[in-house]
Amino acid sequence: MVTNPNVRALVIVLATAGGAGYAPIASGTVGSLVALPLVPWIARMRDESWALGLALVVGIAGVAIWVAGRAEEIFGGKDHSRIVIDEVAGMATAALFAPATWTAAALVFVTFRVFDLVAGAYAGILTRVILEVL
């Protein structure tokens, strides 16, 4: 449980990607938009040093995992719609493989959102198949 008010505030700011998670509709898409500028930046860092790019993404993912867990306690529920830091981590991960251009960043955004929907469909179908077998 997050009891320190400063840590609580930091968790909320990070988990909601600076408030993007409070968007009334499509908060995940808004969170991805907030992460958009990270794509060319991380790609440039990766171009300078693969290790640096990887370290940035691993750091973002590590923070996202910790923050999301604390935010679930605060917001009361697993994968609460306000928690969009996973979208930031996903966009950052995609940046490891994209060119360091704004065109590539825009395409990463579009494909990331499409794959997010497809992943949801695959997860639902696979869950149904597994439950049918069990």
**pLDDT per residue as tens digits for the range 110-127:** 999 999 889 889 989 999
Banded pLDDT at 16 (limits 50, 70, 90): very high
Structural domain of 59: 5-133
Please enumerate in sequence order all residues whose Cβ is within 8 A of that of 29, keeping only pairs 6 or more positions apart, or say none.
23, 113
pLDDT for 1? 80
How many domains does the structure of the chain reveal? 1
HSE-CB at 47 with a 13 A cutoff on CA atoms is 11
Residue 78, pLDDT > 90, answer no
Percent of the chain scoring above 90 in pLDDT: 87
First to last CA, the chain: 35
Structure tokens at 35: 């992460």
